[in-house]
Amino acid sequence: MKRRVVITGIGAITPVGSGADGLWQGVIANRSAVRTIDRFDPSPFPSHIAAQVDDFDPADHLDARRARRLDRFSALSVAAARMAFDRGGLDAHDPARTGVWIGSALGGVAFGEEQHAGYVAHGVRGVAPTLALAVFGGAGASNVALDLGLTGPAVGNANSCASGAVAIGQAFEAIRDGTVDAALAGGSEAPLAPLTFGAFAMIRVLSQRNDDPEHASRPFDAGRDGFVMGEGAAILALEERDAALRRGARVIAEVVGYGASNDAYHMTAPRPDGRDAARAVVTALADAGLEPDRIGYVNAHGSATPLNEPAEARAIRRALGDDVADRVPVSGTKGLYGHALGASGAIEAAITAMAIDRGTLPGTCNLEIPDPEIQLNLLCDATPVAVDVALSTSFGFGGMNAALLLARHA
């Protein structure tokens, strides 16, 4: 029999709160952290807003030398991983049997942009010697492994906005199949730099509600006009269930299924009928051996873009069937902290796990007038409801789709 996989720790650094408890408090407060950007001058772009993490100082989490050497992406990765590692008690596991899986759409690209500016102004002497070590896709996972002395697999992926969910899914499979006994898995993103931000602004996928930042990220709302870029990190401590129980670890939730697919349709637009996004959900259900009617909550990708959410709603209906889709509560939490690209799926998996554990389902911040094209049972406010199984979906550029099924541990 395949081994069972449980979540015993959560590390998070987000615009609405840090640590598992800080993130959850931000979710329950249901107030957006989106503001006008102050990291750089956004005036050349049509969008001037983002969800920044303003209280993150690497020196608060890392020793002074590491804090100076790591770029923001890797520092977020290591800080969130340390939280999850400590909260989950993963030091009880053999480091050689503990892996790291971290997804990020852009990795250290923003740091590379900063160094390019130094190169233009001062030549080679203006470039940090750590540049080559910061911009490769596996830098986050490698730095976490190095920091914690973990010698199992260390894997970075760049599967766009599905990256964090893919990392968790792959770590889940590795533990279940016996490749490792424990893992740190999730996503990290630090994209708030002028050219990096501007690349998304120029293709007009970002909200332009510059005069009302707090209400700009509006998942499933009829007035949504694009996503709001965010930053942050979330890492889950995963381990084999029996080992966790033997040492008396507190289980937050169980990972029971994972599915992935690709639309093979368009680089930025989802397949309108949601066929292949639905297939990721169906694959996760088959992986878990569950019927759709077991799902009690859906934490949707809900990026607040005009094209994506009707397609996502169709995908949910295709995968779960009309009867389930009509009744199952659905919410999208990006109204709170924007879209942290590859970290979003991990942040939302953490929220979903805590929703199961704490018996309250998150609301959908800024949902005022639901889009009539989106036929889902949408939650506006946080609602006390106990559920046994929940679905978290993540969809990204390049048609990348991922679905995670989490369950109450029993």
Last residue of some domain: 246, 271, 288? 246
Question: Of the listed 61, 339, 365, 409, which one is catalytic?
Answer: 339
Domain count of the chain? 2
Mean pLDDT score, 186-192:
98
Q: Are residues 121 and 148 in the same domain?
A: yes
Q: What is the extent of the structural domain holding 74?
A: 5-246
Rounded-to-integer distance, Cα 304 and Cα 316, Å:
16
Whether the model clears a pTM of 0.85, i.e. scores above it, the answer is yes
Q: Are residues 219 and 143 in the same domain?
A: yes
Local structure of 240: helix, strand or coil: strand
Q: Are residues 22 and 125 in the same domain?
A: yes
Q: Are residues 235 and 280 in the same domain?
A: no
CATH number at residue 268: 3.40.47.10
Question: Of the listed 48, 93, 161, 409, which one is catalytic?
Answer: 161
Whether residue 251 is contained in a domain is answered as: no
Convert 126-148 to b/e letters by CB count within 10 Å (16 or more is b): ebeebbebbbebbbbbbbbbebb
* pLDDT value, residue 1: 74
Q: Are residues 237 and 338 in the same domain?
A: no
275: buried, middle or exposed (CB in 10 Å: 19+, 13-18, 0-12)?
A: middle
Question: Mean pLDDT score of the chain, rounded to an integer?
Answer: 97
pLDDT digits (tens, 9 = 90+) for 241-295: 999 999 999 999 999 999 999 999 999 999 999 999 999 999 999 999 999 999 9
Known catalytic residue: 161?
yes
The per-type count for the chain, helices as H runs and strands as E runs, is 14, 16
Known catalytic residue: 301?
yes
Residue 267 DSSP label: S
Question: Of the listed 48, 61, 93, 301, which one is catalytic?
Answer: 301
Last residue of some domain: 214, 246, 278? 246
pLDDT digits (tens, 9 = 90+) for 30-84: 999 999 999 999 999 999 999 999 999 999 999 898 998 999 999 999 999 999 9
Q: Are residues 264 and 221 in the same domain?
A: no
Q: Report the 10 Å Cβ neighbour count for 149.
A: 10
